[in-house]
Amino acid sequence: MNRRQFLGKSSVAALGAMALRTRASAMPAVLAPSPESQRARLDVVWGDRVGKINRNIYGHFAEHLGSCIYDAMWVGVDSSIPNYNGLRKDTIEALKHIHAPILRWPGGCFADQYHWRDGVGPREKRPRTWNIWWGRDEGNAFGTDEFLEYCRLSGVEPYLCANVGSGSPEEALDWMMYCNGKESTTVTALRAANGHPEPYKVRYWSVGNENWGCGGNFDAETYAHEYARFVTYLGRYAERGTVEFVACGDFREGWNQKFFETLLHLPAGRRAIRNVQQLSVHHYFRGGLGQATQFTDEEYYRALAGVAVLEARLEETIGLIQHYTTSQNRVGIALDEWGIWHPVPGTGAEALWQSNTLRDALLAAVTFNSLNSYGEAVSMANIAQTFNVLQCIAFTKGPKFALTPTYHVFDLYQPHMDAMALKTVVDSPTYTVKPLTQLPPEFLAFLGGGGETKRTYLSASASLNEAQKQICVTLVNQHLTEPLEVEIRIPGLDSPGVRGGSVRELTSGNVRDENTLDKPDVVHPSAPKELSVQGNKFTHIVPPHALETLLLQVA
């Protein structure tokens, strides 16, 4: 059954069973090599437009955790490190170069402990608090005005996460007024006194974070009531169409269905569901994947095969959203925390600092290829986290700075932003994954069950930029040792078809290669190379463990 048949025919009652079967067959596990030859075919179906790729799926996430904020985004006005009034210059320039679209802040778990008034006004008068989730002090030198200025300098849209767990609708409404208010009030006067007389016009607002856990340990029904309560006031204040609200969702234990069902049975009924523009879900690749740089070949494939679990959960959620909404009021999926999570310490000034290898970059690329295939159904994705934490895009320490292999994936995928996704059909050699029986039963249940599945070595996505008459094709050869000879066909593209193009490549001698502060350029992309291709069919060879971005010019 293809995705469209699944979404068109599945009832809500069948969604859970279908997803369980899909996830069970997609359980990442030990590699069984395929004897097939390393040749593949990719059809880019010119006439099948999947939907516009929202540029926000190439978004980022920053939390007051480890050194993600302090040292990476904020160095202070007296720092010898180049900065714009305390905001670190090299990280700003890194985000500008990849045209980063959106940045989520201040959490994460930290958000439902954060009180925005602690972070405005003269910095020397701001209170010192304690970060209960990540075990460090918080001086509040980096607050709302600093974050929004950092976004302005970086060219990114700000995405604010309101405090539901320990906060109130009144506090959230005051924060929105501080950011967006045009009226003459005490709160807008405070913003003006802090140097910002004009509204910031923040569009994206999340109503809490992981409220099934660190955001208050709510059940889905209770959170639905809290969401409706908060948005009653926030939505009334916000001008229609200028703000989007993101609700807390969860892939597990029927949370999303219970959430929508509760909203549906509130007095407002379907009007309550219309107050949800996006549904937040989180997904981390972790468990049985080895260490960040010390992993077996089997653990390499296991990590990449984990994308199948994410796909099954997204498809279940898409079907659920289609049941509870209309085409005029479709809720987007905001995958606003995702990435690979290696075993590293979780508290202190260097919490969740992990190495970043070519394996991590290829996992990001395969994930993006998958997200592109859902078109408009996935409205946002924010990798965790921007700097120095988990699958970050750059490391900093004092004056030192290094881009990670994952950063270069964002660079190579820029042409997909806001382009029209085209259907792709892959015929490729495969590898097989089997159950990870060494994991405890409760962890297997969390990941989705047992079973086995096949994954193609070739991962691909394609999009069309009509204004530039350009097709972007991103190819990942996941095979560790063998190149893939890929026949690329574009059925439906009229003659003369493709008229040349270019290719960029990201690979290295070993998938365990990493970029560090002392060796920052081990893994880096190639410069663009000319492609001499014509028509609507050609062959292209992708090296082992490599990502390639093909830009094809069409008549």
Q: All domains of the chain, ordered by start, with CATH?
A: 3-50+422-554 (2.60.40.1180), 54-417 (3.20.20.80)
Q: Does residue 379 carry a pLDDT above 60?
A: yes
Reported pTM: 0.92
Which ranges of 64-201 does DSSP label H, i.e. alpha helix? 89-97, 144-154, 169-180, 186-193
What pLDDT score does 415 carry?
Answer: 98
CA distance 169 to 162: 9
Q: pLDDT tens-digit profile of 299-340? A: 999 999 999 999 999 999 999 999 999 888 889 999 999 999
SS3 of residue 74 by DSSP: strand
Model pLDDT for residues 421-442, shown as the tens digit of each residue: 999 999 999 998 775 655 555 4
| Strands (DSSP E) found in 296-409 | 332-340, 378-384, 394-397, 400-403
Average pLDDT, the chain: 90
pLDDT of residue 441: 52
Is 22's pLDDT higher than 70? no
What single letter denotes the amino acid at residue 538? F
Percent of the chain with pLDDT over 70: 90
Known catalytic residues are 210, 337
**What pLDDT is stored for residue 389 in this prediction?**
98
> For 133-178, how does the pLDDT look when each residue is reduced to its tens digit (9 = 90+)?
999 899 999 999 999 999 999 999 999 999 999 999 999 999 999 9
Instruction: Please report the pLDDT score of residue 288 as a whole number.
Output: 85
Q: Is the pLDDT of residue 9 over 70?
A: no
C-alpha–C-alpha distance, residues 125 and 122, integer Å = 6
Rounded CA separation 383/105 (Å): 12
Question: What is the enclosing helix (H) or strand (E) of 256?
Answer: helix 255-264
**What's the pLDDT score for residue 15?**
41
* pLDDT tens string 383-427: 999 999 999 999 999 999 999 999 999 999 999 999 999 999 999
The answer to whether residue 193 scores a pLDDT higher than 70 is yes
Is residue 82's pLDDT more than 60?
yes
pLDDT at 19 exceeding the cut of 60:
no
